[in-house]
Amino acid sequence: MRNKYVVWSLVVTLLISSLYLAAGPFTFVSASGGANLTLGKTVTASGQSQTYSPNNVKDSNQETYWESSNNAFPQWIQVDLGTETSIDQIVLKLPTGWETRTQTLAVQGSTNGSTFTDIVGSADYVFNPSAGGNTVKLDFSAISTRYVRLNVTGNTGWPAAQVSEFEIYGASTPIPTPTVTPTPTATPTPTVTPTATPTPTATPTPTATPTATPTATPTPTATVTPTVTPTPVTGSNIAVVKSITASSNTQSFVAANANDNNTNTYWEGGSNPSSLILDLGSNYNVSSIVLKLNPAAAWGARTQTIQVLGHNQNTTTFGNLVSAQSYSFNPASGNTVTIPVTATVKRLQLNITANSGAPAGQIAEFEVYGTPAPNPDLVITGMSWSPTNPVESNAITLNAIVKNIGNASSPATTVNFYLNNELVGSAPVGVLATGASTTASMTLTAGVKPAATYSVSAKVDEDNLVIEQNEANNSYTNPASLIIAPVSSSDLVGTVTWTPSNPVANNNVAFNVNLKNQGTIASASGSHGISVVLKNSAGSTVQTYNGSYNGALAAGASVNVAIPGTWTAINGNYTVTSTVEVDANEIAAKQANNVSVSNLVVYAARGASMPYSRYDTEDATLGGGATLKSAPTFDQALPASEASGQRYIALPSNGSNLEWTVRQGQGGAGVTMRFTMPDSADGMGLNGSLDVYVNGAKVKTVSLTSYYSWQYFSGDMPGDTPSAGRPLFRFDEVHWKMDTPLQPGDKIRIQKNNGDSLEYGVDFIEIESVPTAIARPANSVSVTDYGAVANDGQDDLAAFKATVNAAVASGKSIYIPAGTFNLSSMWEIGSASNMINNLTITGAGLWHTNIQFTNPNAAGGGISLRISGKLDFSNVYMNSNLRSRYGQNAIYKGFMDNFGTNSIIHDVWVEHFECGMWVGDYAHTPAIYATGLVVENSRIRNNLADGINFSQGTSNSIVRNSSVRNNGDDGLAVWTSNTNGAPAGVNNTFSYNTIENNWRAAAIAFFGGSGHKADHNYIIDTVGGSGIRMNTVFPGYHFQNNTGVVFSDTTIINSGTSKDLYGGERGAIDLEASNDAIKNVTFNNIDIINTQRDAIQFGYGGGFENIVFNNININGTGLDEITTSRFSGPHKGAAIYTYTGNGAATFNNLTTSNIAYPNLNYIQSGFNLTIH
């Protein structure tokens, strides 16, 4: 659940997780040497526990802290002061509410970061909240050092080093650093003022070695004599804050320092040759370049060998402008060099091959003098439309007058048109001479925009493909609005509902249609027929019902029509199509919405109703040397601990196999197999295969890979190679379509035949019918219309983006047909500045449409949604080449960003992303939160982190009837984060889901907010974490304003652990009040079966208020047979376990059996447990 997005560096600033609440007196300590030198410096440590980061020691907050790895003394933490500095005092703090403890530590110093000597020898220091506010002060004789380290060898309060604040005091003036100036003096080093937060630009890519052959333009100047004494220049410096990049840099001396108009900062390359590239944005007639170093005497004289290259805006190839020469920089003459240059250029490059004062090039200021070269400047001077007063049935032509007010002709470009800030289309603009104008026009199809009032605007060259004098004047908003009047017609729309609204098997279901006339005139009188057709997931008609409404229906009126007949529900997924007969007063343009389709799910009692049937280990017949592997005590060293039921079948050699018989009433062409196979030594995975037989005949070879699986942990940070720690995520899935569907009684066999040395493991298979591919809907655009080609192995991203633009412009939906489409980068649907209002995207079905994101790099794939209205996205399978969380900064979700209002994502299969879906906006302030989102009938599997996370204020949203499997953080979560001013999320629901094989965190998690519900879920085999968890660890809103969170009608099997990623135990239900209270939570009708350790666990000192459990059945605890505890004394798995004395809980009708802990419940003194 940590580090969910690139901005999540704030996660390290967590609040205290203490068992104690009493606060003692606080004493402020300060040394005479000035400010705390630790602030803003780099802090590193030998390790950390959980989220207790080393950076917490410099946040000026005594209630946050660093904690080292546990049970592994000695441990250290150190501060890099940046330069050698005289210090004479250190102040150490712990949280004010912590109990007294003694830590054994030494203070050490180093000038190089590798060789340390004692400043203060090892001794015992008492941290006492009642005497000194848990603060220790260490005074010593002044000493000059750069790296200050605490080396901790003992702690009586916890088996780890712990520090809240590590304050360093002493002389405030740094000692000169010899590496900067070859002959340092007592004056300050030029590293005094490095830029605080360097931001090198991402593009263009620096050219380390200049191109040998110059282009025809710019023309190299003739002989140039370098000036030792600065030559006066005319005009202003045009280089300030322009885009600048470097081939390399040393430490924080980045390229941006070279044009920030401040000679106290500078760029220094990593090694020679080193180069700087300055992009002026457009052509300039350059007359001279001025290069500067800090004029302070501390910068000794030096010479640098520099070549100047450049190119104009019509090419990207650098040509020589001034050949390499040696230039003298001397503080006596201002440390400035002027190089005359006569050229027309957009980009300039300094190529430095030698520097007598440092190992690489150094430039404090790269100044350029010149004047803008001729360029076009496109503006829009007016807009119009025809007809002037349109109605809904009119096609509407939008016009924009484009003028070139620049001093050079402009190339061809485009104008984008917007209604209510929504892109509706574009039009070409031809070449324009200086001063010329043209009218660009595009036509909206009749009926695309409903009757309403629209603001009208346009943008020319919005993508900035034309280099202009002014890029900020390309937009125009028309002063008058476009008013589209309604057409004279009735418009009948039927919306079907059913009772009960969430039927379970064997319910009698009745149908109702709300018939509405949303037209401008009354309907005709007489009978209006209505049909309701129910189809199963295979597309076969189950039942047809007919009803009618008699009489005229006034404009704007609606009526509920009960449809005769009922249906006895059967588990599964269905479509319900309602059709209203065409009314005599309804024109053709209003008849398309007479047909509506809705999805109906008949739920199982608990868990998701999915269309497949599971064939598990115990159902199989083994042969050819296949063996059963198991982990009955959930031993995480064994891959079987991650298998369903902790058992799988190993296929070690040729001929080894397992076989199932297809049961009656089951079968189909779709097969999914969960498998395991070894990783490679470099963590990039191995490739292999298994064969498929039906009734004894080989029908298919299935390719397998471990590329996606195997993550490694030494703490909570995942690694990608075996050296990174203990393994998890050892299983993956593959699915395929059979040429001939499996029938009841068929025997399907999985067999190893390939002769390799690998041992494969099979956990289970799932068999299902494959529905017919969904045809292209009416009024849609297809990605193939814009150049996408299925199954050709080529990148289709440009076609997908063009299709979105076309759909938005025309008001049509998007269709992605059957086949595999490759996307080379993130598919951005809308943008933060131009969000899309309403959009429908459908594939041909999750067994037919395959979207592959081929880029394995961070931020290299997934779908970024920028939707302001309603999105309907469905019927696709999505996969990626991502295999790393990139230090929890992958930014590679299946779906992320702005999900709009009342959107629905359904019937999607999303695997091998960082997260399946991350619902949260980080581009706007305040954040635009999603509300009314529905995710249903989907498969979210095999992702490196969360399955689905509702964050950043997401409210009133639901995940239901979905399979969430084998994810590497919380399966379903609500994180009430408050980044960018997001509000607290409320009223979110997780219903009728099956969450299984989660290998970290929990199946379901709520971290704050109010009104959330989780009901009718089935949770099983969460090897490394909990079934349900709540905590107050993460930044944002907790449960301060919670009026009620409810968990109900849920089964939790084989969950909880004694070995989470921090080496501690977690309950099948785990409640962790780390910072403040968890309150107003109710659990109803919960079955907890075969818990690895403790069934229900309460911990930390934030408090528990109004926690009520009703009708709880606990059968089996302590199955992992571990008794050691991170939080308390040794104990076997208990029914209820608390390691806090702050709080209370009430149980009504608690039933227990097979509890490992002899006393049933293990309760810390002070916790008020009431059992009725």
With bands split at pLDDT 50, 70 and 90, how would you rate the model's confidence at 175?
very low
- Tens of pLDDT, residues 363-419: 999 999 999 999 999 999 999 999 999 998 899 999 999 999 999 999 999 999 999
Give me the pLDDT at residue 942, please.
98
Q: Which residue is associated with the tokens 């960082």?
A: 914
Percent of the chain, pLDDT > 70? 92
Q: Is the pLDDT of residue 171 over 90?
A: no
Average pLDDT estimate for 88-101:
91
Q: Is the pLDDT of residue 891 over 50?
A: yes
Q: Is the pLDDT of residue 676 over 70?
A: yes
Give me the pLDDT at residue 1153, please.
96
Dist. CA 513–CA 579, nearest whole Å: 10
Of residues 482 and 204, more confidence is placed in 482
Query: Of how many residues is the chain composed?
Result: 1172
Average pLDDT estimate for 668-688:
97
- Tens of pLDDT, residues 896-927: 999 999 999 999 999 999 999 999 999 999 99
Q: Measuring CA to CA, which residue among 787, 666, 733, 1062 is closest to residue 911? A: 733
- Asked if residue 828 lies in contact with residue 864, where contact means CB atoms within 8 angstroms, the answer is yes
Give me the pLDDT at residue 510, please.
95
Minimum mean pLDDT range among 14-28, 164-178, 596-610, 860-874: 14-28
Give me the pLDDT at residue 748, please.
99
| H or E stretch at 527 | strand 527-536
- Tens of pLDDT, residues 774-788: 999 988 999 999 999
Give me the pLDDT at residue 340, please.
94
With bands split at pLDDT 50, 70 and 90, how would you rate the model's confidence at 18?
very low
- Asked if residue 317 lies in contact with residue 308, where contact means CB atoms within 8 angstroms, the answer is no
Q: Is the pLDDT of residue 215 over 80?
A: no
Q: Measuring CA to CA, which residue among 402, 481, 384, 482 is closest to residue 440? A: 402
* Lookup: tokens for 988: 């979110």
Q: Torsions phi, psi of 522, nearest 5?
A: -70, 155
Average pLDDT estimate for 120-140:
92
Average pLDDT estimate for 623-652:
98
Q: Is the pLDDT of residue 240 over 70?
A: yes
Give me the pLDDT at residue 824, please.
95
With bands split at pLDDT 50, 70 and 90, how would you rate the model's confidence at 230?
very low
Q: Is the pLDDT of residue 287 over 70?
A: yes
- Strand partners for 896: 864, 918
Q: Is the pLDDT of residue 189 over 80?
A: no
Give me the pLDDT at residue 50, please.
65
What is the rounded (10 degree) CA torsion for 1050, 1052, 1053, 1058? 180
Q: What is the DSSP string of 104-166?
A: EEEEEEESSSS--EEEEEEEEEEE-TTSSSSEEEEEEEEEEEEEEEEEEEEESSSSS-EESEE
Q: Quick check: helix, strand or coil at residue 941?
A: strand
Helix H, strand E, coil C: the string for 984-1031 is: CCECCEEECCEEECCCCCEEEEECCCECCEEECCEEECCCCCEEEEEE
For the chain, domains (ranges, CATH) are 8-170 (2.60.120.260), 185-373 (2.60.120.260), 378-475 (2.60.40.10), 492-602 (2.60.40.10), 613-768 (2.60.120.260)
Dist. CA 696–CA 963, nearest whole Å: 32
Q: Is the pLDDT of residue 217 over 60?
A: no
Percent of the chain, pLDDT > 90? 79
Dist. CA 7–CA 22, nearest whole Å: 34
Give me the pLDDT at residue 288, please.
95
- Asked if residue 180 lies in contact with residue 358, where contact means CB atoms within 8 angstroms, the answer is yes
Give me the pLDDT at residue 831, please.
94
Give me the pLDDT at residue 59, please.
86
Q: Give Cα separations from 1001 to 1099, 1138, 1146 (angstroms).
A: 16, 19, 25
Q: Measuring CA to CA, which residue among 645, 764, 729, 674 is closest to residue 1054? A: 645
Task: Give the global pTM.
Answer: 0.63
Give me the pLDDT at residue 888, please.
84
Q: Quick check: helix, strand or coil at residue 1142?
A: coil
CA angle 408, 409, 410 (to 5 degrees): 120
Q: Measuring CA to CA, which residue among 359, 343, 207 is closest to residue 276? A: 207
Give me the pLDDT at residue 232, please.
56
- Strand partners for 1014: 990, 1047
- Tens of pLDDT, residues 566-623: 999 998 889 999 999 999 999 887 898 999 999 888 887 899 999 999 999 988 999 9
* Lookup: tokens for 1123: 């008794």
Mean of all residue pLDDT scores within the chain:
89
Give me the pLDDT at residue 97, please.
78
Q: Is the pLDDT of residue 218 over 80?
A: no
32, exposed or middle or buried, with CB in 10 Å at 0-12, 13-18, 19+?
Answer: exposed
124, exposed or middle or buried, with CB in 10 Å at 0-12, 13-18, 19+?
Answer: exposed
Dist. CA 173–CA 339, nearest whole Å: 36
Q: What is the DSSP string of 846-907?
A: TTTEEEEE---STT-SSEEEEESS-EEEEEEEEEE-----TTTT----SEEEEE-BS-EEEE
Cis peptide bond N-terminal to 188, omega within 30: no
For residue 126, what are the contacts with CB-CB under 8 A and spacing of at least 6? 100, 101, 102, 136
Q: Quick check: helix, strand or coil at residue 761?
A: strand
Average pLDDT estimate for 294-299:
91
